[in-house]
Amino acid sequence: MESTLSARDRVGVQDFLLLENYTSEAAFIENLRRRYKENLIYTYIGSVLVSVNPYKELEIYSKQHMERYRGVNFYEISPHIFALADNSYRAVRTERRDQCILISGESGAGKTEASKKILQYYTTMCPTRHNTHYIRERLLQSNPVLEAFGNAKTLRNDNSSRFGKYMDVQFDYKGAPIGGHIINYLLEKSRVVHQNHGERSFHIFYQLLESGDNSLLTRLGLQKTNPQHYHYLVKVCVCVNLKVYFSFVCFCERTFVMIFTLHIIYICNLLFSLSFSLSFSFSLSLSCHHYQGNCPRLLGVAGSALSEALTHKKLHILFVGEKTMISPLNLDQVLSARDALAKAIYGRTFTWLVQKINQSLAFQDEVYYTSKCSSVIGLLDIYGFEVFQQNSFEQFCINYCNEKLQQLFIELTLKSEQEEYEAEGIGWETVEYFNNKIICDLVEEKFRGIIAILDEECLRPGDASDITFLEKLEDTLGGHAHFVTHKLANGKTRKAVGREEFRLLHYAGEVNYNVTGFLDKNNDLLYRNLKEVMCQSGNQIVKQCFHPDELIDQRRPETAATQFKLSLAGLMDILILKEPSYMRCIKPNNGKQPGQFEEVLIRHQVKYLGLMENLRVRRAGFAYRRSFEAFLQRYKPLCPDTWPNWRGQLLDGVSTLVKHLNYKPEEYRLGRTKIFIRFPKTLFLTEDALEIRKKTIAITLQKCWRGYRERAKYQRIRHAVIMIQSWWRGVKGRRRARHRRQAADTIRMFIKGFILRNEPRCPGNEYFLDHVRFSYLMTIKRNLPKSVLDKAWPRPPPSLTEVETHTHTNSHRNTHTHTHTHSLEQKVVASDMFKGQKDNYPQSVPRLFVGTRLGNNEEINLKVLQTLGSDNKYGVAVTKYDRHGYRARPRQLLLTASTAVLVQESKVKQRIDYTSLLGVSVSCHSDGFFVLHLPPATSKQKGDLVLQCDHVIETVTKLAIMAEKIHNINISQDSIKFALARGKEGVIDFTPGAELRVIKTKNGHLAVMAPRISSSV
């Protein structure tokens, strides 16, 4: 933290204790302004964290920031909410003491978001047990559920918490979160039935109407209409899908629907109308039959019973025995009963919801849970001090709560200060401060407190009203210094206090409370006959919320103020047993705009948060304290005796340092482990001297570092060179020794083989014989005969006589014949035409082309030979398909130098001159079909010729070469068209299949199913 003091003129100080003019409220607010302008929203007052809502996202809550604050001393780096969370967590781990973090501030100051950030830190940075990972998610996901049912839009905040929340997070002995528990305080149930202008009811109703699916809304009898259609609602709000969050806290779908059911009962618009009879008597009835049917169904009660309970009151009259009378209610009473029912249902089911969440957060291992190895950290997110134009019963309870928290805060702060002074052996000086116990007693004192008087007025028979309550206050508390009414005030004050108001002088300032509605809100009663109807409900949640024991108990239920006082006393008992940490949240402006700093608004919050009082209490002693080790470590460069290292006791080192810095005795005290500095100016001068000294230190450090770096670099290089040299010498030595061993072994085997060279082959002479063979073969390779006339030939060794004869013979043999060469040339032409275009081409590659494919069984007829002469070049057996019906005819195709002849036994069926051949068409498949295209003008020709043979690649290649039609070969994909007689056209359709099949189709085409060729070919 001290590192930022050099920039204090721009960003202020990180701890208000370091303000020189700590009594000046203007200096306090100016420091807040400077830090807020630089997006530094957190500042300390000792151990108290002050936060200003930035109204925008800041990149200071990532996991990297969490790691930065993890395990770091509280004052070591800049203020942050993670530092506060980590400080409490380390206290739990190391000291095994329960902690609590108290978050306070007015609506919109960021209390709820702060509690979320603390939970996020614990669930992210704490270790995890194998069976408690789900607890982390439930701790985080419980917040959206409670916000939906307990938060609402107000004039000051779009997501204002309308209830107080205290959450205990339980940790095991390893520091892993294993459970949690939530206590809620003072839910603002009146918001269910009434909202001020510009405000809204609880979020859940708008979320249900906006994002509820049609099946759920139909089941509840609702419609996706404007919320103003419903009596209790105004304007719509942004909605979320709560089913996701309900699943994290173990609510099933049925329970989810039942919760919605109970919390929308009042949406059913229980409106009433008067119906007068001829006798001028009147009764009340439900005005809307649609809602009249839905309400009982959703509540699980009889419609007639609900109607009767809402419009009549049951009176118990005691004479000789007990007698019951039914009295009709007037319109105001009916509307009051309706509102009381809606508030009771909402308040009780909200409590039930908190209980269900607690069940989901409870750690299930009972043996482990009851052990003494766990600790807790409590988070208190509760309403701040509220001062409105019109302050009513709710503001009275909220401000009473803040008085109690301020009392606890001052007591624990002074206590911790005194304990620290005593632990360090420094005398404690009595600190004067405003003790607000007198205000707490004014509110809660037995028989004479405001709550006691309010309860008494609610319980007494007769015509009790809010005005009689105010008069009773004036009679009982008329002389109290912190209580004023219009009647008791002097002339100047009387103008500011209304006739129906009383004023309390709180620690944070004066607040006027209007007594209108105090009695009704404090009673918060539900008619007995309404309770009876609710207790008979068939809805499971209603049964749990309205217990039959309430009907048996004849005692009057406690009033709202008494309940709140008792719950607040329980909260104080919880907090007093824990070591507290404090966070004070401030709202910078009412417009919720980033960057706006309204000084009047902030001055008001600084006052009622008691920040100046806290600062004054903390500064009554010493403004700055640090351990000897931290102080000496930071400022030791300022003294030659302590720089660069102090070897003696820490106390002696600090004494030497402050003596060198010329500290005056009244400016500091040395405790047992810490130094206490009274004035911030002393620390500022020390920090400024360190800032000047840093230049010299930097030069010295650079010089030393460069020298160390170069020496270390030289040593590394020298060590590396020596290592490389020794390694390389070793490699060379091992390589030389290996070569010598190999050479010795080779010479030994060679000599032994030479001795045994005339013996049969054996392990002893095989190396020598192999060497002789290799030398002979290499001699032949280098001295092959240049021509057949060269008779020179090396003399072979005895073991290679046979090989020498075979080699000598092969060396004089012609490598290729003319026929072989001609066949290869044809193969090249076939490759150019068919490679990659016909499926059966790869099968033809390994087979050489031959002069003829007509063997002994298929000789050419002698008559045909006489007709053709000796001009026949190639012959192959083919199948000709007729032009009429495509009948297969066996034929022979003979290729001569100028014509292609089609032969049937001894008859020449057709001659095709190469010059008249237009082209040849084949398919891309593995069939043997090919079509010879002929010109139609020739009278002897009767259309194109359709042939099929087993050697189609060879046949077409030879035909193309002889006819010089290499470039007239057409390879078709799926079909070949050919000419028939008299200008007609035929088509051959090719399809792949398992085997070769040739059929005539109904459309007159010739269908050929070509067999597939295996990919391995």
pLDDT tens digits, 220-253: 666 666 565 565 565 444 444 555 455 544 455 4
- Of 104, 112, 269, 682, which is the active-site residue? 112
Tell me the per-residue pLDDT of 442-472, one tens digit each, with 9 for 90 and over. Answer: 998 888 899 899 888 888 877 788 889 888 9
Helix (H) or strand (E) holding 902: strand 899-904
Instruction: Give 3-state DSSP helix, strand, coil % of the chain, rounded to 5.
Output: 50, 20, 35
Average pLDDT over residues 378-388: 81
- Of 347, 378, 384, 610, which is the active-site residue? 384
Task: Using the predicted structure, report yes or no on whether residue 289 has a pLDDT greater than 70.
Answer: no
Q: State yes or no: is 799 an active-site residue.
A: no
- Of 51, 53, 142, 161, which is the active-site residue? 161
Identify the CATH assignment for 625-725 out of 3.40.50.150, 3.30.460.80, 3.30.70.1590, 3.40.50.300. Answer: 3.30.70.1590
Task: Using the predicted structure, report yes or no on whether residue 569 has a pLDDT greater than 70.
Answer: yes
Higher pLDDT, 250 or 85: 85
556-560, 765-769, 775-779, 889-893: least confidently modelled range = 556-560
Task: Using the predicted structure, report yes or no on whether residue 275 has a pLDDT greater than 80.
Answer: no
| CA 164 – CA 399 distance, rounded (Å) | 13
Q: State yes or no: is 293 an active-site residue.
A: no
36-50, 413-427, 583-597: least confidently modelled range = 413-427
Tell me the per-residue pLDDT of 28-72, one tens digit each, with 9 for 90 and over. Answer: 999 999 999 988 999 988 788 999 999 888 988 998 989 998 888
| CA 440 – CA 419 distance, rounded (Å) | 26
Average per-residue pLDDT for the chain: 80
User: How much is the pLDDT for 290?
Assistant: 45
Q: What percent of the chain has pLDDT over 70?
A: 83
Is 106 marked within a binding site?
yes
313: three-class secondary structure by DSSP: strand
Q: How far is CA 130 from CA 139, 176, 292, 318, 367, in A?
A: 17, 10, 52, 64, 17
508 confidence band (pLDDT: 50, 70, 90): confident
User: How much is the pLDDT for 937?
Assistant: 62
In DSSP notation, 849-875 reads P-S----GGGPPPHHHHHHHTT-EEEE
Is 322 marked within a binding site?
no
Among positive and negative, which fits the CA dihedral 87, 88, 93, 97? positive
List, in order, residues 6 or more apart from 583 with CB less than 8 Å away. Answer: 48, 49, 50, 51, 81, 84, 101, 102, 103, 104, 114
372 confidence band (pLDDT: 50, 70, 90): low
Domain boundaries, the chain: 267-336, 625-725, 766-811, 819-1011
- Of 43, 53, 107, 516, which is the active-site residue? 107
User: How much is the pLDDT for 813?
Assistant: 55
Average pLDDT over residues 373-394: 82
Q: Answer whether 588's CB lies under 8 Å from 36's CB.
A: yes
| CA 690 – CA 636 distance, rounded (Å) | 9
Q: What percent of the chain has pLDDT over 90?
A: 10
Please count the residues of the chain: 1017
Tell me the per-residue pLDDT of 829-850, one tens digit each, with 9 for 90 and over. Answer: 888 888 888 888 888 887 888 8
| CA 182 – CA 728 distance, rounded (Å) | 73
Higher pLDDT, 165 or 132: 165
Q: State yes or no: is 107 an active-site residue.
A: yes
In DSSP notation, 16-83 reads GGG-TTTT-HHHHHHHHHHHHHTT--EEEETTEEEEE--SS--S--SHHHHHHHTT--TTTS---HHH
Q: Which two tokens stand for residue 737?
A: 């020794």
Alpha-helical runs (H) found in 151-279: 203-211, 214-220, 243-248, 253-263
φ and ψ at residue 740, rounded to 5 degrees: -65, -40
Is 293 marked within a binding site?
no
Alpha-helical runs (H) found in 756-874: 766-782, 801-811, 818-834, 841-844, 862-868
| CA 214 – CA 205 distance, rounded (Å) | 15
Is 108 marked within a binding site?
yes
| Gyration radius (Cα) of the chain, Å | 53
Q: Answer whether 130's CB lies under 8 Å from 75's CB.
A: no
Higher pLDDT, 288 or 516: 516
Q: How far is CA 558 from CA 445, 518, 564, in A?
A: 17, 15, 10
Tell me the per-residue pLDDT of 105-158, one tens digit each, with 9 for 90 and over. Answer: 887 888 888 988 998 888 888 887 766 667 777 877 888 888 888 888 887 778
Residue type, 469: F
Distance of CA 871 to the CA centre of its chain: 88
Distance of CA 492 to the CA centre of its chain: 60
* Domain 819-1011, second-level architecture: Roll (2.30)
Tell me the per-residue pLDDT of 700-733, one tens digit each, with 9 for 90 and over. Answer: 889 999 999 999 999 999 999 999 999 999 999 9
Is 107 marked within a binding site?
yes
User: How much is the pLDDT for 233?
Assistant: 64
Taking Cα atoms as reference points, which of 558, 551, 553 lies closest to residue 535?
551
Higher pLDDT, 418 or 514: 514
31-45, 184-198, 307-321, 579-593: least confidently modelled range = 307-321
| CA 650 – CA 633 distance, rounded (Å) | 10
Q: State yes or no: is 384 an active-site residue.
A: yes
- Of 53, 88, 143, 160, which is the active-site residue? 160
User: How much is the pLDDT for 728?
Assistant: 96
φ and ψ at residue 621, rounded to 5 degrees: -105, -105
User: How much is the pLDDT for 748?
Assistant: 92
- Of 78, 87, 88, 108, which is the active-site residue? 108
pTM of the shown model: 0.60
328: three-class secondary structure by DSSP: strand
Average pLDDT over residues 86-106: 84
Is 275 marked within a binding site?
no
Residue type, 449: G
Q: Which residue has the tokens 């007037």?
A: 330
308 confidence band (pLDDT: 50, 70, 90): confident
Is 152 marked within a binding site?
no
- Of 147, 386, 394, 403, which is the active-site residue? 386
Q: State yes or no: is 160 an active-site residue.
A: yes
Q: Which two tokens stand for residue 240?
A: 């979320």
Is 95 marked within a binding site?
no
Q: Answer whether 389's CB lies under 8 Å from 197's CB.
A: no
Longest CA pairwise span in the chain (Å)? 157
Average pLDDT over residues 841-868: 79
